[in-house]
Structure 1
């Protein structure tokens, strides 16, 4: 899958950097492998509403705690929850531990909304696994938004706390 990610970003003219490393099974471990490199270490959560009629890919700083009740209110939902592993695989073609914006390449229905922490400035460098946990990709928030728009994915900036 990472080849598809790199080809898509290259085709779009998006500048990125990749660091290869041993498999990382947590954000803490991934951070160890890229110590000394500039960029916000992110966590990406795949969430759904109670009826599984709305899907959200939420990206924030790995150190932030997310209040799902507050986030649900901000999204106009009564309640949101983590999507099941099956739904994650069906919608984004990925598994827990490597969830990132690049799973949107596999999302055929284009009904997943990308929610970005509004603390991210457009020129900030953010990090993601390119759908494999043996590499970390660095890119700007502006380019991440351009990637999503290119795929026809709605992007919403929200306060994530």
Structure 2
């Protein structure tokens, strides 16, 4: 069983990445309340089940996708219990097939790596052209669970704060689809 800390309602004393600092500074600036836990590295959605239990929230599955030419990128937020289907996703957006973006592109645009893709990457200038796509079921939950862009910190925030404060602050538009 992985290490999971007590629940905190304040930012970490030290940051592990620039993205993590940007995330917590933005939450503070927008007066978004959260609960967070520190953990061992959690990479898979199965690993995240322990974080889910501790925070009493379902961690949202966040996927980073690219078109075949690697010229258009998509950050997909979806319910963790759903399976991703490339064909259905592409059809929903009326685009040709997509695949997972490479780790190199993920590091360049989202400043994160495989296993810790996060909504907070939309705060980065490098991600300004990434299309945000959201499974409609994510909007139905009172709370939104996610990583802070690292593999060792997970958070619980109000879904309304994500969609009414954080996303508008980022300047991103988003498309809601059924998965």
TM over 0.5: yes
Q: How many residue pairs align between the two structures?
A: 160
Aligned to 2:53: 35
SS in 2 for 1:40: coil
Contact 2:77 2:138 in 1 (8 A): no
Q: Separation in 1 of the partners of 2:70 and 2:148?
A: 26
Identify the residue that residue 4 of structure 2 maps to in structure 1.
none
Cα distance change on mapping 1:91 and 1:102 into 2, 3 Å: same
Contact 1:114-1:153 within 8 A present in 2 as well: yes
Q: Which residue of 2 aligns with 1:148?
A: 167
Alignment equivalent of 2:147, drawn from 129, 132, 135 = 129
Which segments of structure 1 move beyond 4 Å, counting only runs of 4 or more? none
Q: CA deviation at 1:122?
A: 5.7
TM superposition shift of 1:53: 2.5
TM-align CA RMSD: 1.7
- The residue that corresponds to 1:46 in the other structure is 64
Higher strand share: 1
Worse-superposed segment, 16-25 or 84-93: 16-25
Q: Is the 8 A contact 1:47 1:57 kept in 2?
A: yes
Q: Which runs of 5+ in 2 are unaligned?
A: 1-16
Is 2:164 aligned against 1:111?
no
User: C-alpha displacement at 1:3, in angstroms?
Assistant: 2.5
Are residues 82 and 94 of structure 1, via their aligned partners in 2, closer, same or farther at CA, if it must alter by over 3 Å? same
Alignment of 1:5-16 (within 5 A): 5-16=23-34
Contact 2:23 2:148 in 1 (8 A): yes
